[in-house]
Structure 1
């Protein structure tokens, strides 16, 4: 298995960051297999969604609706409402596995691989990309 860790700057606001380009570069020329994308953080996830047409902002809005950043959470360190960030990976998993065919990720026309990071307390994230040859 081939694996590497990339670092992504997410800033101080909740964000959906497209990492498709980085993932595509990682698998380029590797043939057929599986790409596994894993975020080793307790407050981030990986989503396969359309970006650039509002879906990324819609995802953040939906997460705010389902998981409000208020004082209801028992987990209380960090910024107000931070406890919801620790629950979010149960809704947006911290991993995704995708097919790779002839060195290209087999995504649908409008699909992108995105890091979902609601936690402004940590402005950088690591993402492990792993390729398992088929």
Structure 2
């Protein structure tokens, strides 16, 4: 897959790469480093949540009309397994419904072929004008 474009300054700071964002969904990858670990030596939940936030946001932008802005209203994350530094993460997400004011998303992160986190979210739909 070829990167889609600029992931935004925050996502770029965390090293996220947008590989795909279209009507079918989004794929965002990351290479977690030791600075992304919590005090217990596993990936910080905030890092994983930020990756899910980015992937679900890109899924909405891929599904919606040009120029749409879609900030999160909610993001509910479930952590299933501990993630580690040094092994790539892949977040996949889809826009499950796209309404005039609200859309919904779902996503998951895998590491080494195992799901380590899942999320559902809602986004406000704001059309430029």
TM-score (norm 1): 0.30
Q: Which has the larger radius of gyration?
A: 1
Higher RCO (C-alpha 8 Å, min separation 6): 1
